[in-house]
């Protein structure tokens, strides 16, 4: 049986949120989805992706895994969940945007840092999953500007952006101008988002308006 | 550059939602997360997990992949993102609940049904990812009660619940009474949730209150 | 040959607006539309519907005719363009909202008022089109509050809302809670929007936030 | 109550767009409109007429109906919304241009093609509205050059141009040199516009500059 808080939460959703937006949900059920972005985010409970973009039903196609990682392109890898989602988002849903959304206090990235410091690495799946980060290139400049913890998280975002570009379908669409890649880092405490600038390879706070 | 709608959405979140809940976000940043459940959901943009449980920051640790699948336990499999998240949820975060949240109109499950009907299966990652469903046991009774589309989606949820129980850590915690597993199916159009009853193995609408 | 201003405008759109949003346009071309609202607006060049709701491509299905009128339900009427659009919006696109968007300084409504004052009515099509307004019920209270010109425009909006409810498809969807009807009046000079309150049948300025 | 996204959109418009252009809006409210063109466009949410011509308030008088059709001249037809708008544009507003703006992926034109292929036609209003297309003359050359879907859309534009010339007021003004008719076809995905050449009766991409 579901716990009371989850069950009550569902009935509040059903009677208020879903009821108020019922027409939109029925329309989406009948016509299908055409989300504006694919977001690769962490499983972390403090990162509510829809809330962060104030997005409604149908707006965001969201993959969530530990540490918001995109594995390198490996067509023979088994059960590549994130790669399948990237393919689905790009080729089936034709999303115009892919966002890698990292965040502060990331337990996955922290586990990788601890491994570097000689702590025993996670056994089984977590450890294997995080081997993707082996050899992560952390920038000295980021360490100086943002501190070591954040610098590792930013490096993870850069690596996922690079891995996304190993997919032909991503690279081709980006070259054609119909797909844009974004690297963002969300600070849980302050709400600040740093955005990756592809020209300088640096991260800086999101501006308030779209620049010309 | 982020599109205007995403950027505007972020600033609404930052100024309204995050500002209103800033104390909670700061607390979560300092103390870490202790979510009440791990939810395995689909990437589908029409399934907003936090909204469905009216959950706030810190409440739900969420994995999202195509068709909300838990792969079978395979310790040597590379880059097993979902398995790593299950392990993290159970062993690091000690979540008391794991929810497999399926949904109506699932494109991943539909692709598997089409493959059964002889249509060419998805190439590359999507096709490989969905081979997890090969041999899926769909119940005649579900087909009669809910129709074929839903019956396949329910079968997928049952399989993921079974695969979760291949993890020692999950099985042990369940036996100890400190972890409960739930299989739920969300209907996008109506908002109805069907819940899996472990005693009868059948699905029925969620009750309004927790039974004694 | 197109005039220079139209041609230049198109190339600005093509090189800036469409290029910046090219992925979204390609996605919409491939996946089709699922607009959030059907808007019935006037042809008036001063009423830019997409601008008024800051809407992007794919957001609004827009019918525009002289004086934003919905004709009464007459299944045998020939070439009922607006009725066809209402049917398409409700039954094919399953829009969750229909908005009748009137506006200040409406030439169509003014022509009807002038006819009441004994001026010769428009010949041909305009005159025939505006016979829909014959017998329009203008509220004294609106005349007192907003002046005669606006009061006629508000009466036209009320009549179109009533005519919309002559469509079974509209009435049934509204009863089911999956379609909401809205009557709005846009003041060109000030930008103010008055909204129709279905409970009181009165118009009042749009609030800043959605009330609970 | 308006949905949050529509309400938020309005307040962004009011505070940014309308505020920035307030003088122009006040002027237009006081002096009336003098638009540079009457545009007959489809209701389709992916065709934002003002955006396509980068037009501001007061620039374009816009009729929108399903499939951007101009019905044949029939003075006794009841409630001929589009004909009334044509008359209003030509005789009241003296527009120097009328543009028939078709587009790719048109659901109305597609419904007509499906009817030709034996599929049951739309009931009620949509079906009646589309009987205007019965006997549509599609050019073999267009099918060869642009494919069948586009060729039907181009044929619809030619027919609407011909129907416009059934109006004395349109024909006379064109002969007098004070009104120009244009047939354009907008491709949603690429943004390309094909323009009808009255001399050759063929469609070709819009040039970058006005030819001498």
Select from D6, D8, D85 the Cβ nearest to the Cβ of C43.
D85
Residues D68 and D127 in one domain: yes
Rounded CA separation A191/B16 (Å):
11
Distance in Å, alpha carbon of B165 to nearest chain C alpha carbon: 38
Residue D184 CA to its chain's centroid (Å)? 8
The chains found to touch B (3+ Cβ pairs under 8 angstroms) are: A, C
Token pair 């949410």 is found at D45
Distance in Å, alpha carbon of C165 to nearest chain B alpha carbon: 23
Residue of chain D whose alpha carbon sits nearest to that of A55 = D5
Cβ atoms of C64 and D72 within 8 Å: the answer is no
Q: Is C180 left (phi over 0), alpha (psi -120 to 50) or beta?
A: beta
Cβ contact, residue pair B13, A126, below 8 Å:
no
Q: Is the pLDDT of residue B41 over 90?
A: yes
Helix (H) / strand (E) element for D60: namely strand D60-65
Residue of chain A whose alpha carbon sits nearest to that of B192 = A14
Cβ contact, residue pair A179, C94, below 8 Å:
no
| CB < 8 Å to C58, chain A | 34
Residue of chain B whose alpha carbon sits nearest to that of A3 = B210
Cβ atoms of B25 and A189 within 8 Å: the answer is yes
As beta bridge partners, residue B196 has B203
Q: Is the pLDDT of residue B3 over 90?
A: no
Residues B27 and B108 in one domain: no
Residues B103 and B138 in one domain: yes
Mean of per-residue pLDDT scores for chain B: 92
Residues C171 and C182 in one domain: yes
Taking CB atoms and an 8 Å cut-off, how many pairs form between chains C and D?
A: 292
Residue A144 CA to its chain's centroid (Å)? 25
| CB < 8 Å to A195, chain B | 2
Q: How confident is the model at residue C73 (pLDDT cuts 50, 70, 90)?
A: confident
Q: Which of C73, C55, C89, C47 is nearest to C186 (CA)?
A: C47
| CB < 8 Å to D80, chain C | 79, 125, 128-129
Residue of chain A whose alpha carbon sits nearest to that of B23 = A189
Residues C142 and C198 in one domain: yes
Both tokens assigned to D159:
């027919």
Cβ contact, residue pair B3, A107, below 8 Å:
no
Q: Which tens digits make up the pLDDT trace of A159-177?
A: 999 999 999 999 999 999 9
Q: Which tens digits make up the pLDDT trace of C148-199?
A: 999 999 999 999 999 999 999 999 999 999 999 999 999 999 999 999 999 9
Q: What percent of chain C has pLDDT over 70?
A: 95
Q: Is C43 annotated as a binding residue?
A: no
Cβ contact, residue pair C189, D78, below 8 Å:
no
Both tokens assigned to A41:
């985010």
Q: Is A106 left (phi over 0), alpha (psi -120 to 50) or beta?
A: beta
Residues C44 and C148 in one domain: yes
For residue D66, the model assigns a pLDDT of: 94
Q: What percent of chain D has pLDDT over 70?
A: 95
Q: Which of D185, D184, D171, D183 is nearest to D87 (CA)?
A: D171
Q: What is the dihedral of CA A148, A153, A158, A164, to 10 degrees?
A: 160
As beta bridge partners, residue D103 has D186
Rounded CA separation C87/D10 (Å):
26
Sheet containing A97-103: order of strands: A203-205, A193-196, A180-186, A97-103, A37-42, A60-65, B60-65, B37-42, B97-103, B180-186, B193-196, B203-205
Q: Which of C31, D187, C50, D38 is nearest to A92 (CA)?
A: C31
Token pair 């006040």 is found at D26
Q: What is the bridge-based pairing of β-strands A37-42 and A60-65?
A: parallel
Distance in Å, alpha carbon of C1 to nearest chain B alpha carbon: 34
Rounded CA separation B126/A56 (Å):
26
Residues C19 and C42 in one domain: no
| B210 found inside a domain | no
Residue of chain C whose alpha carbon sits nearest to that of B6 = C56
Range of the domain at A10: 1-32
The chains found to touch D (3+ Cβ pairs under 8 angstroms) are: A, C
For residue B202, the model assigns a pLDDT of: 97
Q: Which of B183, B128, B116 is nearest to B156 (CA)?
A: B183
Residue B25 CA to its chain's centroid (Å)? 24
| CB < 8 Å to D89, chain C | 43
As beta bridge partners, residue D61 has D38
Query: b or e along B150-159 (b: 16 or more beta carbons within 10 Å of the residue's beta carbon)?
Result: bbbbbbbbbb
Rounded CA separation B111/B67 (Å):
10
Q: How confident is the model at residue D120 (pLDDT cuts 50, 70, 90)?
A: low
Helix (H) / strand (E) element for D186: namely strand D180-186
Residue B167 is classified by DSSP as S
The backbone torsions φ and ψ at residue C172, rounded to the nearest 5 degrees and listed phi first, read -65, -45
Residues A182 and A84 in one domain: yes
Rounded CA separation B198/C145 (Å):
64
Mutate to test the interface with A, among B48, B121, B210 (most CBs of A within 10 A): B48
Say how many Å lie between the first and final Cα of chain C, rounded: 53
Q: Is the pLDDT of residue C137 over 60?
A: yes
| CB < 8 Å to A181, chain B | none
For residue D208, the model assigns a pLDDT of: 82
| CB < 8 Å to A97, chain C | 23
| B64 found inside a domain | yes
Residues C82 and C17 in one domain: no
Q: How confident is the model at residue B52 (pLDDT cuts 50, 70, 90)?
A: very high
Q: Which stretches of chain A score pLDDT less than 70?
A: 77-79, 120-123, 210-212
| C116 found inside a domain | yes
State how far the alpha carbon of B208 is from the alpha carbons of A3, B171, C26, in Å.
12, 28, 44
Residues D54 and D1 in one domain: no
Assembly ipTM: 0.94
| CB < 8 Å to C88, chain D | 43, 66, 107-108, 126
| CB < 8 Å to A179, chain D | none
| C198 found inside a domain | yes
Cβ contact, residue pair C21, B3, below 8 Å:
yes
Distance in Å, alpha carbon of B76 to nearest chain A alpha carbon: 8
Q: Which tens digits make up the pLDDT trace of A81-121?
A: 999 999 999 999 999 999 999 999 999 999 999 988 887 65
Both tokens assigned to C60:
């609004």
Cβ atoms of A84 and B132 within 8 Å: the answer is no
Lowest mean pLDDT among B168-172, B186-190, D65-69, D70-74: D70-74
Cβ contact, residue pair A23, C93, below 8 Å:
no
Rounded CA separation D212/C70 (Å):
44
Residue B62, helix vs strand vs coil: strand
Say how many Å lie between the first and final Cα of chain D, rounded: 53
Give the orientation angle of helix A107-116 with respect to helix A148-164, to 10 degrees. 110
Q: What is the bridge-based pairing of β-strands B203-205 and B193-196?
A: antiparallel
Residue of chain C whose alpha carbon sits nearest to that of A57 = C36
Cβ contact, residue pair A23, C58, below 8 Å:
no
Average of per-residue pLDDT across B158-173 = 96
| C212 found inside a domain | no
| A210 found inside a domain | no
| D212 found inside a domain | no
CATH number of the domain enclosing D85: 3.40.1050.10
How many domains in chain D? 2
Residues A170 and A153 in one domain: yes
Residues A62 and A165 in one domain: yes
Residue of chain B whose alpha carbon sits nearest to that of C209 = B16
The backbone torsions φ and ψ at residue D181, rounded to the nearest 5 degrees and listed phi first, read -105, 140
Q: Is the pLDDT of residue D212 over 70?
A: no
For residue A155, the model assigns a pLDDT of: 98
Q: Which tens digits make up the pLDDT trace of B91-136?
A: 999 999 999 999 999 999 999 999 898 876 555 888 889 999 999 9
| B119 found inside a domain | yes
Cβ atoms within 10 A of the Cβ of C79, count?
24
Both tokens assigned to A210:
């779209």
Mean of per-residue pLDDT scores for chain C: 92
Distance in Å, alpha carbon of B7 to nearest chain C alpha carbon: 14
Both tokens assigned to B180:
């409960």
């Amino acid at each position: 049986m579901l716990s009371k808080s989850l069950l009550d939460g569902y009935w509040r959703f059903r009677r208020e949120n879903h009821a108020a937006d019922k027409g939109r949900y029925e329309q989406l059920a009948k016509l299908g989805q055409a989300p504006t972005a694919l977001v690769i985010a962490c499983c972390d409970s403090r990162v509510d992706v829809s809330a962060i973009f104030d997005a409604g039903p149908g707006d965001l196609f969201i993959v969530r895994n530990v540490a918001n990682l995109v594995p390198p392109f490996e067509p023979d890898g088994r059960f590549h969940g994130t790669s399948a989602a990237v393919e689905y988002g790009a080729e089936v849903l034709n999303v115009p945007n892919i966002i890698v959304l990292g965040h502060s206090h990331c337990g996955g990235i922290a586990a990788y840092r601890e491994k570097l410091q000689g702590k025993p690495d996670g056994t089984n799946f977590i450890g294997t999953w995080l081997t993707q980060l082996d050899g992560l290139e952390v920038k000295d400049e980021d360490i100086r500007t943002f501190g070591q913890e954040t610098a590792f998280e930013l490096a993870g975002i850069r690596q996922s952006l690079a891995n996304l570009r190993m997919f032909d379908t991503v690279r081709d669409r980006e070259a054609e101008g119909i797909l844009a890649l974004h690297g963002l880092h969300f600070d849980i405490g302050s709400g600040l988002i740093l955005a990756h600038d592809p020209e300088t390879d640096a991260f800086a706070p999101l501006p308030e308006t779209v620049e010309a």
